Structure 1
Amino acid sequence: MAWLVTGGAGYIGAHIVRAFRDQGVEVVVVDDLSSGHRDFVPADVPFAMGTILDRALLDGVFAQHEVSGVVHVAGFKYAGVSVQRPLHAYEQNVTATITLLAAMQAADVPSIVFSSSAAVYGTPDTDLVTERTTKSPESPYGESKLIGEWLLRDQGAAVGLRHTSLRYFNVVGSGAADLYDSSPHNLFPLVFEALLEGRSPRINGDDYPTPDGTCVRDYIHVADLAIAHVAAAKLLDAGDAIEPVYNLGSGDGVSVGEIMEAMAKVTGIAFVPDVGPPRPGDPARIVASGKLAARDLDWRMRHTLDEMVASAWNSRRNATP
């Protein structure tokens, strides 16, 4: 039996694929390569090129492979862009999830781990987010992720689908020299591109009510995230008790200023970031508790900030130009 990873050629999905293989679990990948990379997927892993909006493609994958569950990572992940392209975000994240769940039901695939997002919380009114914190998404992206959780919940009630959703904030670092974050919107690759081009990185605001004036966020290492997905999959396979949602959070967070200091230290490139105006609606601090996931999913922060930066920097420098 194998687990299907949708979006398994992407930055996060590829790490999940390798985490499964490290634990002796077979994997199948579906990815349309809209943001992923074919060479992120090991050559001996079965790979289906295409979108999960394609029901015939999914039916064929389930017919060809014995799949016991799905880790659903594929989706449109850019919150800011989703405000300008809401229909695209909903198609990729809601319609596609419905198509996937229908194909799973038809093929009697009983379990799913859903890659959700802390964007479901919007701007929380608490310093430490828990799974019970009020959900108030502020973008079509965040709304689409919350709808995805509802779809799993309702399908669970209707047909007994076993499921859990993992919510997380900022995923960074690399677990392998050949896997890197190529997103045009994430902080780490934006800083690296600026440094490689001889420019000063830009940050948004330095007068927030935080110790150094910059925003505090939850940054977690992608390899730790991948391990938690596999742990969730194993609980579902075993039929063990599992919560419907988990936050994968650090519990304390890191400021953007601290990240800039770590970037300069690790890369050996001295710089002073340019400071732009704060982005409207950006809260000073968003940090999540990971206690529930620590209890059930072997979740813990295994990497320091310097290690996160160093692993990401090394993988980016190894990337094909």
Structure 2
Amino acid sequence: MAILVCGGAGYIGSHTVAELIEQGRQVVVVDNLEKGHRGAVDSQATFYEGDKRDMDFMDHVFAENQISAVIDFAAYSLVGESVGRPLDYYDNNVYGAMCLLKSMLKNNVRHIVFSSTAATYGEPENIPILETDATVPTNPYGESKLAIEKMLKWCDSAYGINVNEIIECARKVTGKEIPVTIDKRRAGDPSSLVASSEKIVKELGWSPKYNSLEQIIQSAWLWHKEHREGYND
């Protein structure tokens, strides 16, 4: 299994690639060479020149390689430049991260290391900065990186389960084969909808009785076995 390093032709990225290869890891590098240098990439790494915002290109990279995890260094990182070019920073950093995450989910890759920055803290409360300090970025670069951090935290909880996992769990609980037909998405359907119960837990003190996928399916299966005609039983 390989580790994909986005931005692996940059300064930090190329050193990370070299270290991974020294540890005996198989490494795939994606870099559009806007900031990076092809010559900086270890010759033992598999290199693809392209942009992580190009999802067709990324699908091709995932299809050709057995990738188990991603390390993402492919962000613009100059504070002064971000003030003059804020939209470029949001496009490359935030939108780029969204595209990468979508490609990962589509190709069943669930592990990512995100290269962060102290710029998310703005004017620091402490020197040195503590991880528990407030994040109040003062420039578009810091704002873009903080937005990605929040997105990753949300994805970590929201995308823990996909349709295939639900089907497999239902087969396990019911002991049935459960045939599946894959069709196009219905018109108007979003790609994902995941609601949080955080507010009702916090404000009303309620907590879900069944909070694992297997418990949820088991409970529903038992009810339907006892009520084969639904509420008409």
TM over 0.5: yes
- Amino acid in the other structure paired with 2:57: L
- Amino acid in the other structure paired with 1:97: A
Greater helix content = 2
- Larger relative contact order (CA 8 Å, sep ≥ 6): 1
Counterpart of 2:129?
129
1: CA distance between counterparts of 2:118 and 2:160? 26
What pairs up with 1:48-127 in 2 under 5 angstroms? 48-127=48-127
- Amino acid in the other structure paired with 1:153: K
2: CA distance between counterparts of 1:65 and 1:15? 21
Q: Is there any run of 5+ residues in structure 1 with no aligned partner, and where?
A: 162-321
Over 6 Å off, 4+ runs: none
1:5 aligns with 2:43: no
1: CA distance between counterparts of 2:130 and 2:105? 31
- Amino acid in the other structure paired with 1:134: A
2: CA distance between counterparts of 1:79 and 1:39? 26
2: CA distance between counterparts of 1:94 and 1:34? 17
Give 1:160 deviation, angstroms: 2.4
| 1:146-190 superposed Cα distances (whole Å, 9 cap, x missing partner) | 0111111111111129xxxxxxxxxxxxxxxxxxxxxxxxxxxxx
Counterpart of 1:152?
152
What pairs up with 1:306-317 in 2 under 5 angstroms? none
What pairs up with 1:227-306 in 2 under 5 angstroms? none
TM-score (norm. length: structure 1) = 0.49
Give 1:44 deviation, angstroms: 2.9
2: CA distance between counterparts of 1:66 and 1:149? 26
3-state SS of 1:5 partner: strand
- Amino acid in the other structure paired with 2:62: F
Q: Contact between 2:8 and 2:14, CA under 8 Å: does it hold in 1?
A: yes
2: CA distance between counterparts of 1:21 and 1:127? 35
Measured on the aligned residues, the alpha-carbon RMSD in Å equals: 1.1
Counterpart of 2:33?
33
2: CA distance between counterparts of 1:96 and 1:128? 30
| 1:29-88 superposed Cα distances (whole Å, 9 cap, x missing partner) | 000001111011122311110111111111110111000000000011111110110000
Greater strand content = 1
Counterpart of 2:208?
none
3-state SS of 2:45 partner: coil
Q: Contact between 2:21 and 2:44, CA under 8 Å: does it hold in 1?
A: no
| 1:192-232 superposed Cα distances (whole Å, 9 cap, x missing partner) | xxxxxxxxxxxxxxxxxxxxxxxxxxxxxxxxxxxxxxxxx
Give 1:18 deviation, angstroms: 0.6
| 1:210-260 superposed Cα distances (whole Å, 9 cap, x missing partner) | xxxxxxxxxxxxxxxxxxxxxxxxxxxxxxxxxxxxxxxxxxxxxxxxxxx
Give 1:8 deviation, angstroms: 0.2
- Amino acid in the other structure paired with 1:2: A
TM-score (norm. length: structure 2) = 0.68
Give 1:128 deviation, angstroms: 2.6
> Taking every aligned residue pair, what percent have the same amino acid on both sides?
44
Q: Contact between 2:104 and 2:110, CA under 8 Å: does it hold in 1?
A: yes
Q: Is there any run of 5+ residues in structure 2 with no aligned partner, and where?
A: 162-233
Instruction: Return the index of the structure with the highest Cα Rg.
Output: 2
1: CA distance between counterparts of 2:127 and 2:100? 35
